[in-house]
Amino acid sequence: MKNSILTSGSVTLVALGLIVALAGCAPAVHPGSKTGNGNPASNGSAAASATPSATPTAAGPGPLPANALFRITATVTEPGGAKADLVETVFAPAAPTASDTALLNAQCNFPGDPGWAANYANPLYVTATITATLHPGTHAWSADDGVAAYFSGSAAAFSGDYHVAQADCADGSISIPGTIHGVVPVDASNPATGTYGWAGPMAGYGFDGGGNFPGDANSGGTGVVKDCVIEESAAATAASPVVEGWLTQPFDIQSGCRFIGPSAA
């Protein structure tokens, strides 16, 4: 894993050919739609739909949820052939819950520190669901081949198939197969572009594998993340030029599939 999620990097973003809505608005997407598994979308002809596929493919992630800010999809492949689909869905700020507060308290309050809540006068919570799904028929993923899952803020807590990387209360890696729940607080006064906002200087999302930058002494494993796609709600695109710019970033193999805030742009 890289030393910092704020390392400069970019991705080629090709939006899914889906019509989805948030508050009655279609999400912002990049032209050149593909299906969720990276294959060209069907032309929708009757003949094509009537012909059964010799090799069934996994269904795409479906429409962007109404309360989502954006969704990132990618694939990760080991040299031996194991392959998995990666999906990160980030949801709009919402009222705190007792379970997520307990998670933040357990992972982000350190001895001698005032605690994570000291940075937030009036917190809301941004949550994420992050999944890694093996392709049907592939062999098992190597247990020591870590795939980084980025979901960042000044405080970030996780549950599920999550493994601490360089520090507690920060980004780690995901088991394959696996599912992670993540939560980061944002201040209600400026939840998007504030210092701790979901599109602010500490923001970071997406994935990378040890094979994306094998020359990095901190990289582990051999999996290569690619085939990145991002879908954004209209509200997310309008929140920040940096977020809008995620739709057209060029792909850089060394950076995997990562989207970062303005301090590293």
258 found inside a domain:
yes
Task: Report pLDDT digits (tens) over 93-127.
Answer: 999 999 999 999 999 999 988 999 999 999 999 99
What do you get for the CA distance between the two ends of the chain, in Å?
20
In a domain, 107, yes or no: yes
Mean pLDDT of the chain: 80
Q: Which domain holds residue 248?
A: 58-264
3-class SS of residue 259: strand
CA dist 46 and 29 (Å) reads: 27
Asked if residue 197 has pLDDT above 90, the reply is yes
Does the residue 240 lie in any domain?
yes
Neighbouring C-beta atoms of residue 181, cutoff 10 Å: 18
What is the pLDDT at residue 156? Answer: 96
Residue type, 82: A
What per-residue confidence (pLDDT) applies to 40? 32
Cα dihedral sign, 29-14-256-89: positive
In a domain, 33, yes or no: no
CA angle 17, 22, 24 (to 5 degrees): 100
Q: Which two tokens stand for residue 235?
A: 């509200």
* 186 vs 34, higher pLDDT: 186
Residue 152 tokens, joined: 């960042």
What's this model's pTM, rounded to 2 decimal places?
Answer: 0.77
128 half-sphere exposure, CB direction, 13 A CA radius: 30
Round to whole Å and give the CA distance between 8 and 257: 12
Residue 1 lies in a domain: no
Query: Tokens 């392959």 correspond to what residue?
Result: 83
pLDDT, position 26: 42
Of how many residues is the chain composed?
265
Closest listed residue to residue 173, CA positions, set 196, 148, 193, 195: 148
Contact (Cβ atoms closer than 8 angstroms) between residue 256 and residue 240: no
The predicted-structure confidence for 206-241, as pLDDT tens digits, reads as follows 999 999 987 665 556 899 999 999 999 999 999 999
Number of domains comprising the chain: 1
Residue 24 lies in a domain: no
Cα 190 from Cα 198, distance rounded (Å):
9
Residue 260 belongs to some domain of the structure: yes
Q: How many CB atoms lie within 10 A of CB 81?
A: 9
Q: Is the residue at 214 inside a domain?
A: yes
